Amino acid sequence: MQTTSFLPTMNTKAELEAHQIEGLKWTVAHAYRGSSEYRRKFDAAGVAPADITSLADLQRLPLTTAEDLRAGYPFPLRCVPFEDIVRIHSSSGTTGKRKNLCYTRKDVDDWTHFFARCYEMAGVTAEDRVQIAVGYGVWTAGAGFQMACERLGAMALPAGPGNVDLQCQFMLDMQSTVLCCTASMGLLMAEEIHQRGLIEKINIRKVIYGSERSSRSMRQKISDLFGGAELFDITGMTELYGPGTGIECPHHDCIHYWGDYYLVEILDPETLEPVPEGEWGEMVVTTLQKEAVPLIRYRTRDITRIIPGDCTCGSIMPRHSRIMGRTDDMFIFRAVNIYPSHIDKILSEISDLGSEYQIHLSRDKAERGVMRIVVEMGQEGQMSSAAPLADRLVRRLKRELMVTAQVEIVAYGSLPRSERKSQRVFDTRIQDSII
Ligand code: ZN
């Protein structure tokens, strides 16, 4: 039976804040001492570790970006000697070099601890059988889900990504109770289970999914096809340990993030000034006890907002909304900034449409931008109603995004399902080139 709890040790917000101030002071002094890159950035900003005495002083510190990580390749922002590093993980950057991150033994241990807290918050216990259908290797995903599952004392089934036959067989033979995957993989598996008529023979009760956006309708569909399984959106990124830095609580009211391990600021991505509490902006994170590569005001590019007030679940851990999109995922079409998540939302509000879609951006003969949205009919929908549905979607897009798009409705199941992140935006507009 599970005996250890991984929940935070502090009981009040004042205790949490005292812990955060100490962690911030330690982190800034540690980074200044350990990394010439951080020292140079702090010196350039005219701020020294002794200047940091409160959480408000955070804003005096310079921002750190993905470019800083790339510039320091292969061991960027390293603050400890090599003999203290026990592991490397890396993630693909959107362009150019990988982002490699170093971990000390304590970093791995801390990550395992708060990831086990995610499982605990989702109600996973030592009696559960956790099928881990995410990538293993240099990525943080597999390692994180696995270590924390074992720390919790549950049974880990490291199935890895893809391989639908093996996934189905594990669910049948091992009677897995928890499935960990991306949202796309969750949908793919849910549909497979449905098509193979396995729902009565399997025992999945919770789906813990992360690493990509999911619409409300997609969540609903995964839950329904798994016979009412409870879904938990888990957050994280390699730069910040890996997955498990926050999770939806059982009250399903946004994401609790682990404020005893890192701070979150929400900044306007243009002005880089804090937005008023509760408004959308870019999440910027500062670690409080990370040793090998502490992050100081790291721009995540994730768009979210802080949820003010207390959660009904009783946790004192702060909350942010589910990730709405990426600052670099946004595309501009005829001078309108569009987030794919906004299109997710519009689609989820038209009941007969499916949740799978693609956005194709191109140019016509007159060099005008053309946006074509290819969207699947819902599973129960009839293709005979495609034309009026397409008209409805065109009008909704016009009203909500103020753009004119072409809409093509295709049969359910005809767009590719991905085991990883589905590519939504296909932009073939000719870019201006410098000659
Ligand atoms: Zn809660």
pTM (two decimals)? 0.81
**Residues in the 5 Å CB sphere of ion ligand 1:** 249, 251, 311, 313, 315
251 C-alpha to center of ligand 1: Å? 6
209 C-alpha to center of ligand 1: Å? 17
CB-CB contact of 90 with 100 (8 Å): yes
pLDDT score at 421? 67
302 C-alpha to center of ligand 1: Å? 21
pLDDT score at 203? 97
Residue 213: which pLDDT band, with cuts at 50, 70 and 90?
Answer: low
The residues spanned by each domain of the chain are: 66-330, 339-427
212 C-alpha to center of ligand 1: Å? 21
Cα–Cα distance for residue pair 230/215, rounded to 1 Å: 15
Which candidate, 244, 48, 31, 225, places its Cα nearest to that of 134? 244
Determine the Cα angle at 218 with ends 411 and 206, to 5°: 130
CA atoms within 13 A on the CB side of 316: 12
Show the tokens assigned to 143. 């390692």
5-18 confidence digits (pLDDT tens): 999 999 999 999 99
178 C-alpha to center of ligand 1: Å? 20
253 C-alpha to center of ligand 1: Å? 6
From the centroid of its chain, how far is CA 207? 15
Buried b (16+ CB within 10 A) or exposed e, 51-69: ebeeeeebeebbebebebb
258 C-alpha to center of ligand 1: Å? 12
Cα–Cα distance for residue pair 283/305, rounded to 1 Å: 8
Helix, strand or coil, per DSSP, at residue 173: helix
pLDDT score at 434? 29
254 C-alpha to center of ligand 1: Å? 7
214-235 confidence digits (pLDDT tens): 677 778 889 999 999 999 999 9
134 C-alpha to center of ligand 1: Å? 25
pLDDT score at 165? 96
- Around Cβ 205, how many Cβ atoms within 10 Å? 17
The better pLDDT of the pair 351, 212 is held by: 351
314 C-alpha to center of ligand 1: Å? 6
pLDDT score at 435? 27
How does DSSP assign 337-403, residue by residue?
Answer: EE-HHHHHHHHHTSTTEEEEEEEEEEE-TT--EEEEEEEEEPTT--GGGHHHHHHHHHHHHHHHH--
Domain 66-330: which CATH number of 3.40.50.12780, 1.10.760.10, 3.30.750.24, 3.20.20.70: 3.40.50.12780
Residue 369: which pLDDT band, with cuts at 50, 70 and 90?
Answer: confident
CA distances from 159 to 108, 156, 162, 323, 368 (A): 22, 9, 9, 27, 47
pLDDT score at 339? 74
The domain made up of 339-427 is a member of CATH 3.30.300.30: yes
271-328 confidence digits (pLDDT tens): 999 999 999 999 999 999 999 999 999 999 888 999 999 999 999 999 999 887 777 7
Task: Tell whether the model's pLDDT for residue 418 goes beyond 80.
Answer: no
Residue 201: which pLDDT band, with cuts at 50, 70 and 90?
Answer: very high
CB-CB contact of 16 with 10 (8 Å): yes
pLDDT score at 433? 35
pLDDT score at 135? 87
91-150 confidence digits (pLDDT tens): 864 444 678 999 999 999 999 999 999 999 999 999 999 999 998 988 899 999 999 999
Cα–Cα distance for residue pair 356/337, rounded to 1 Å: 21
243-260 confidence digits (pLDDT tens): 999 999 999 878 999 999
333 C-alpha to center of ligand 1: Å? 37
Residue 430: which pLDDT band, with cuts at 50, 70 and 90?
Answer: low
242 C-alpha to center of ligand 1: Å? 21
246 C-alpha to center of ligand 1: Å? 11
319 C-alpha to center of ligand 1: Å? 8
CB-CB contact of 50 with 33 (8 Å): no
The single-letter code of the amino acid at 152 is L
33-87 confidence digits (pLDDT tens): 999 999 999 999 999 999 999 999 999 999 999 889 988 999 999 999 999 999 9
318 C-alpha to center of ligand 1: Å? 9
Cα–Cα distance for residue pair 175/171, rounded to 1 Å: 5
The better pLDDT of the pair 364, 152 is held by: 152
Cα–Cα distance for residue pair 141/420, rounded to 1 Å: 12
List of residues 6+ apart from 67 with CB closer than 8 A: none
